[in-house]
Structures are given as C-alpha cells and as structure tokens.
Structure 1
Amino acid sequence: MNILIYYQKINLFYVSMWLKIFYNNTIMRFILFLLLFSPLLASAQITDNFSDGDFSHNPLWTGDTTEFTVNTSQQLQLNNTTAGASYLSTASANSFLDNTEWHFYIKQSFSPSSSNYARVYLASDKANLEGPLNGYYLQFGETGNLDAVELYRQTGLTSTSVARGNNSAIALSFAIGIKVTRDTIGNWNLYVDAAGGTIYALQASGNDKTFSTSNYFGISTVYSASNATKFYFDDFYNGAIILDVNAPIIVSSTVISDTKVDILFNEHVDITTSQTVNNYSANNSLNNPVNVFRDSINFGLVHLTFANQFISELKNTLTITNVRDLSGNGISNINIDFIYLFISTAAFNDLVINEILFDPKIGGVDFIEIYNRSSKIIDLRSITVSQYDTVNNVLTGVSGISKTRRLIFPKEYLVLSENGNAVKSQYNSYNPNGFLDLSILPSMNIESGTICLATGTTIIDLLKYNEDMHFPLLNETKGISLERINFERITLDRSNWHSAAEAVGFATPAYQNSQYQNPSKTDNILEIIPEIFSPDEDGMND
C-alpha cells in the first residue's frame, strides 16, 4: 500500500511539472487556443457573393424567398411583379457586435423615397425583419430629396438615428459600396464608395451601445409595382474587422495638362505622406513636382504639378515612395508611366472623308470612314459630321462624333456608323478597333447627298456624292462602298472616287482603300477619259 502511494506521488509530481511547463509556455498556450477555438473563428463570418447562383445554402437565407432571385450577373435581386414588402435574413456571423465589420454592394435603379426604399439589417434579434425587433439597420430612401445613407437603432417598432451620411448622396438612382464598423465601446463608423467599389470614404460616425448581441443579418425592401425588380445586393460580409496590412496600389495615371498628372490609388492615402513632394520623382529632367495635393473628395486621388513641361509623345516614368494609406502601410519605390499628348485643333483637310457606304446590304448600315492625313493628334469631341445645305450654305443633321475624349492619331482610319458590329460582320475587319458608334449618323440618300466634317461652323472636309460615281460597268452597287483614291487630291473631285474592288469584298472599313494610290506616284498615272470607250470611229466615245 505504501509503495502504491509512493508511485502515485511520483506520477502526480511529473504530471504537475509537465502541466506547469506547458501552461507557462506562451507558444504552447497559443497552440492550445487555436486547436480549441479555430473552428469557431473560421466560421464566425458571413460572406456571400452569390457566385453559386442561389441563396439556399452557404449561407441559408430565409424569408420571402420566392420574391428574390440571383440574376445572370450573380447578384441578389428583388423579383416581384406587384407592390409590396419583401425580406430575407440569415443567421448572424457572431452573436457579439464588438469589433465587427459589415460591407456590401447595393444598387437601386430608381430614385428612392419613403415608399420605395431598402434596409440592410446589420443586427437583429428576430429573423422576421418586418415586425418588432431589437437591432440596427441602414436605410436607403426617405421623404424629400435629401436621401442619405443612415444608420438606425430599432427598439421594437421605434427607430432612432445613430449616424447619417451625406445629404442627397442617394437622392437619385445609385450603385454604391458600403462599409460599417463598430468597436468595443459602441462607436460606429459609416463608409461609402459612391462608385460602387471598395475605396470607402468615411461619411458619418456615431455612438450607440444599446444592443451588444445579434442573432440575424438581412435585407428588407418596400416598393411600388414599377420598382419591384429594381433592388440589387451583392458581396455581403459580416464578421471581424478586417485589418489593412497591404500598401496602397497605384491604379492609374492620368495626364491633365503639359505640367499636371493625377495619380489614383486603390484606397485612401494619408494626407501628410501623399502631399510630400519628395515622395514623387520623374525622369526626363522632370524631377520632383513643385506642388502635390490630395483630392478634397476622393482621398485616393493625388494631383501633381511639375515645373517643366512634358514633351509630347515621350514616355515619362514616375517613381513613388513612402506614400502611406490610412492604416500606415507605405509604398516603396513603385513606378508608373505616363505620356503627354499634345492635342491640336483640326484645320481644313487635316481629317478627310475617305470611304462611304450609302446603300448597305440587307441587315447592314451606312458608314463614313474618316482618315487623319495630318501629323496632329486630334480630339474628336470637337468634330461633327453632318449633311450640307448647298443652297443656304449651312450644316444640317449635325451629329457630334464623340461626347467623351476620343483621339484620332496621324494616319489613323476610323469608321463612323450606328452599328460597327454590323459593318464588321459583312466586311473584312483587319482593324476591329477602328470603329466608333454614333447614336445618330446623318442620313445618307442612295441617289445623292452631301457629307461634311466640321468644327463648329468651320468646314474640315466636304463631299458631294452621287450613285453615278460608282464604276459604270457594275450591274449592282448595293453593299459596295465608294473609296477615295488619293488623300492629296481634293474631296470634291469626282474622279478621286471609285467603287471598292471585288477582291476585298467591296469595302475596306478602317483600313487602306483598295483603290488607294500613293500621292507621290500620282504624276505617273495614266488616266483614260472616258472610262468606257468604243474605238469604232463613230464619233462617240472613241
């Protein structure tokens, strides 16, 4: 008996020593923690981007399930036919609200109001989001035209504002990204990306710690019949606050003028480091900018101004270092290139009409091909295409070529039409990027007409065409374009135009014409007039 007690004491001694070593070892305690709690940590979040095409599992959403669908863009979309109210909810990621983050995408393709709005419930003690409950929600829509994203606490049926975003930010249809965080003492932060991405800007803060737990997360919608399919949701996250440990990434560089360039980052950057001129340096003797300031609205956008002018068409390399995001993560010697292009005003015959199709095939469309015969880079926002009234000498049926910046470079071909894809489907398309669709192309009569390129009321080029300009031996001209022969000869010269060759498919949209003649060789061209002759000595076309 005494021997047994002795061995028991020895065993207890070694066990106690092992436990003491184990629990005094920080690493071992951490491993034990991970082994015990990692399954809980891994599951303590909700993420759903609906890429699986449903909302019936991973996670399971319940509620008015027949009134929602996952659309072809893999977004959760309201899908009803009559006016009403619909909701979906899912179990909360974590029952505690401390140190929690929510983010998601929401779109409402109508102007919201007090009778057409969405709510996203960040926390609720009830699965049914249409009755009394305790929790917090964001509302997207209200009476009047000051609609803002607003965070509310709901107690039973009573709602109390906690934080309100910018007035009128969602007064019209919108598609935005949202992020909300709450810390351990009830501080709430509301962030919005007005472009629908994840470059969030802080819009509002508030404090409320009335409720500290949650059972459900979800959405609710109130709508008229005309808006019963116009609510969209995507990319839900509900879980622990995601810590930013990544340095900012340069998204793009945009040249503003011959001394200014804008740099866009993928997140907001710190005002001090982003406005330090020594953190930016460019080659080609540009050196450091003389002025740098972070945009007052988009904190991910930085404006740089240099003392020396950029040289047109020369590639510059900008090196950025030590610029930090709002979490303190810094960039280290990242390069981005930018090129300044000197944009010139188009003068007479800088741009010329080079090919036209005014009698298209069945299923086809008219087109006008223009060509930049100058050495200039021209912005087509300043150019119009129209008909020309030769009696009153005025432009008619005027259409702007482009509402946004569209440059045409020297020796570039560009086809204007109402449906470039239709043109490419019927003819060879060696330059698929050389097409620009216009909402309205000036009408082109089959028998005859005029086409004019202009800037304001100043004519750049003018063509008077007639179906008789086609090669006279053709039995059929439908679907056959008229091509310019020589860029250096005037556009109004009828002999400078010819039907496109059969060998190329009767049109050459956006590339060199089949009837093209090198301007340097025009002096050696033998021209036979008339094209059709009968050497029978009858005095007619001999």
Structure 2
Amino acid sequence: MKIYKALLLLSLFMTLIYSCSLPADDEEKETYLEEEDNATAELPWEGETDKFTINAKEGVRLDAPQENGGTAFITIPSTTVRNTRWEFGVHLTFNPSSKNYARFYLASSSNILSGNLNGYYVQIGGVKDNVALYRQNGEQRKLLASGRELMKGNNSPRLYIKVECDNNGYWTFWTRLESENEYTKEKQVKDTDIQSSVCSGIYCVYTKTRSQGFTFHHVQLTNNIETTPNPDDTPDKPETPVDPVLPDYPEEVRGILSFNEVMYDNATDGAEYIELYNPSGITVFVPALKLIRYVDTGSNSTETKTTVILQQPDGNQEISIPPYGYICLTKSAATLIRKHKVSKETIIEISNFPKLTNEDSYLAIMTNEEKSRLIDKCSYFESMHSSSNKRHQGISLEKLSPELPSSTRKNWHSSKDSTGGTPGKINSRE
C-alpha cells in the first residue's frame, strides 16, 4: 500500500509539471517572463520552507533573514535517476562567488541537502562563473562535467538549465542565457555510480547581503526521454575531482595571519576564543586552520595537548580576513556577541573549538595540509598579564601592537576593555 501511494504521488507530480514546460527556443521571452509559474509554486516543497518565498509570480525565491548568512534548502519528492530530464530557470541578483552560489540537486539519497548524501547536482557559480555537473558520495564531491563561464562579469545572470540522464547512464546538460535563442550543449558524460533517489531540491550558500538574491522558476521533471545507445560525440570522462569552493593556501604562509588576542580563562558568562589579525593590505582566504596547543616539559622538549582543525560549519566555505582586519574563532559566537557587544561579522563559530585551559601554554596556528606549515605562534602565561591580580578570569591577553611578533611576551598585556576583551575588533591597548 505504501509503495502504491508513493507511485500515485509521483504520477500526479509528473503530470502536474509536465503540463507546464519551458518555452520553446523561438518563443518571445517577454511573453514567457510575464507568465505565472503555477506549476513550480504548487510542487510539494519540503525542508527549510521558512527561508523561501514560494508563489506563482516568482517561483521559488530565497527569503532568509537578512541579518544571517549560511545555507538553505528545500526539496521535492523524486525517485528517478535514469530516463529523466530536469529543467529549470534561475535568476541571481549578483555575480556568484565562492560565498554565494547555488546547487540544484537532480537526485539525492537524503532530503537534508546540507548533510552527507549520495546524489547528483548542478552547481551554479562558485569559484568559476559557470554551470557544472557533480556527483556527491557522502562528503566527497566529484566534478563530472564543467560548462562555459556564461555568468562571468554578469551582476544579474538569468539562465535556463536542462539536464538529461538516459537509460544507459549518459548525462547531458545544456545551458541558455535569457538573451540567447537556443540552448548550448555543454557536455556529455557517462556515470552510473548512483541509481536511486528520494528527492530533488534547491540548495543555496549565501552571505547576509545575498539572502534574497536567488530565484528558481519553471521547475520541471519529465520521464520517457530518448535513449542514445551510441552517442554521436564521445562522452567525456569524469574530470579530476576538485573542490569548487575552497581556495588554496598562499605559497608563503608565514606571517599571513598573526595571533592578536587570547581568552583562555573566560568569565562564567563568557567564552574562550582566539583572535587573528591580517597585517597585509589584501584579503586573506584560507580553507581551514590547524590550532595546536602545547606545553613546555623541560629539557628543550614540548608536549602537544590538543590539535584541532578549525573551519566554517559548512566545509565548502573558506575563512576570510579583510585587509588589516580581525577575526575571532570561538565555540559560542552568540556568547561573545552578547558579552563583549561586538559585531557578528568578525566572529566565526567553530563547533569543535578546543578548551584552552588555564595551564601556561603555547599556541601555533598552521595550515591543514599533509605537511602543515606554521603561520604564527604565541604563548599565554598568567605572568604575561599586566595587572597585579592573582587571577585574571574573564580578562583576555591582548597585543600592544598587532604588527610586532606574537612570540614577544612583552608585547602582550591584560585587556583594558570594560567587558574583559575585544574579540573581533581593535585591541583596547592599541
């Protein structure tokens, strides 16, 4: 009975969307844009629907709270992979980047698109201003086929995308800008790794200024497509796996960032944190950082206490620090914002941020590579505080000058800020 109901739902779903196809290439675009998109609005969307506006006028538009950035997704039931065509239109109000891009999941084993899953998706934007086809296996993503950079230099791209997977596992995708009269065939590739699905869906990665800048419309799924046993063109082999978002570390990492403040003995209403400073005139982008805490055991030897990889909650996003700017890494961003009355823009919450403890220690910030490279190091000792208090709970150690070496203990003093620290902003002693 459950199987029968699922097939009935899928049949009704396919009938509904089949009745409203994308316009033919020779139709007037102006007429098409004026048409209401009832089919997309009436699809059984699930997931984070509170972050989207869904109606016949717009289709599906991201409408997340503007004070926040992050990710958002919605899904529709879809159990087919082979013998399926996906079509949709997309409009962005910005030029996509590694911080603002979208994915349309053609097939997914999970209706939680922000987690691990097995499936296929089309990515719109990222490091390149193109459309690309990917396969995802758990946390791993493999680039199958990359299209032209048709959105390059476009601050309001409008385009249409069509993808087919035939019965033999040949994937073909086409793109068309709104200004173009015909679809352009991008690539064809054979991939049969994943053969089942529970849903299709939309997944957006965005900053707060782009929280309303993604629109998908005229979403259509159809079956019974033509199967080509022997394609005229030799299908591409899947391309070398790449990460579409994470940047590489600079060739020289020593000194690109420096420690600037450490809160290791937080107040009961506060949280531990480290603050980093960018001493250069350019923005620094890194995919992740490795934080090591170690202690001196005497006889010129040390003992490592903790080693933790620090990265954004969404592993596809880089950590960026503006020129001469600050970022603060902590386990609880909300606590720091409330306690120290600072802007959320410079606070990054790291779920696995380690406990620093009150033990006199050394910290090293390094690259997260097979052969890690040192970026900067410092120490925090109770004796480095400039006040005469026996204990300095709730008071951070700050640099007098962020430009001077972090290893110079005389360059560190107790914070003079009334809240006990200045996470993510200029130090109280500067």
Tell me the TM-score normalised to structure 2 length: 0.48
Larger Rg over CA atoms: 1
Q: RCO (CA 8 Å, sep 6+): is it higher in 1 or 2?
A: 2
Tell me the TM-score normalised to structure 1 length: 0.39
